[in-house]
Amino acid sequence: MDTEDLKNDLRNRCKPPAAASGPDQDGLPTRARSEMGDEDEEGSVATEFTLAPESPSHLNRWKVKTGGVLDRSGTEMTELDADELRPLLSTYDIKCLYLQQNKLQMLPVPALKLISSTLIDLDVSKNPLKAESLFSEPVSLPQLQSLTLNGSSLAAVDSLFENLSAPALKFLDISNNRLTGSLPFARQHYPRLTTYLAADNQLSSLEY
């Protein structure tokens, strides 16, 4: 299995199985449809006659795609607000989080902790990440299998190895950054790592 096949395999895990519990014809998960139906049946009269219209600030603007995919790429975000993420978790298990091509300078640790038990694929590529402040605190992502950090102007990755616990990690992409010298022994930190991409850097040695 080559690199592209492995990446596709990991992302296919975000796709839903063909089962009766999957999304209905309108694309909403059955659980979400059920909850929406209950709200419509029980609260329609009260909403019409007794409740003020919802403020737009109370409406969650984030949509989780089928299979637990939350794609916030290319949205100009400077941080991932955990308070906006939290309301989604009563309905969805977020397995894939795509944050590429934004303005993040550090990994959104508080938000990642909220989805640590379900997250398998994290893409934070093409963000202006700061190596010295990549983590606000250590974080454990026990289910994470794929992490993409390419094209993020990173000058060092020591903070990554020191602060991210990801025992299931299989795919790590830190290519096209500003890394120099030698890199830490990756599999000492991530023993299940099978694909380690570090091209387009100025490295003198790479321990795998």
> pLDDT at position 97, please?
98
CATH homologous superfamily of domain 3-9+62-206? Ribonuclease Inhibitor (3.80.10.10)
> pLDDT at position 184, please?
82
> pLDDT at position 61, please?
72
Burial class (CB in 10 A: 0-12, 13-18, 19+), 207: exposed
Backbone phi and psi for residue 123, each to the nearest 5 degrees, phi listed first: -120, 115
> pLDDT at position 5, please?
66
> pLDDT at position 13, please?
63
What would the pLDDT profile of 66-113 be if each residue is shown by its tens digit? 999 999 999 999 999 999 999 999 999 999 999 999 999 999 999 999
* Nearest residue to 109 (alpha-carbon basis) of 165, 158, 53: 165
Tokens of 74: 């290319």
* Nearest residue to 93 (alpha-carbon basis) of 124, 114, 110: 114
Pairing of strands 64-65, 69-71: antiparallel
Whole-angstrom Cα distance, residue 15 to residue 72? 17
Whole-angstrom Cα distance, residue 61 to residue 137? 27
Under-70 pLDDT residues of the chain: 1-13, 15-60, 208
Tokens of 48: 């019409």
> pLDDT at position 8, please?
66
Q: Could you tell me the pTM of the whole model? A: 0.74
Contact 79, 107 (CB under 8 A): no
Residues whose CB falls within 8 Å of the CB of residue 103, separated by 6 or more in sequence, listed in order = 76, 77, 78, 127, 128
Tokens of 101: 């091509």
* Nearest residue to 154 (alpha-carbon basis) of 98, 96, 202: 202
> pLDDT at position 204, please?
84
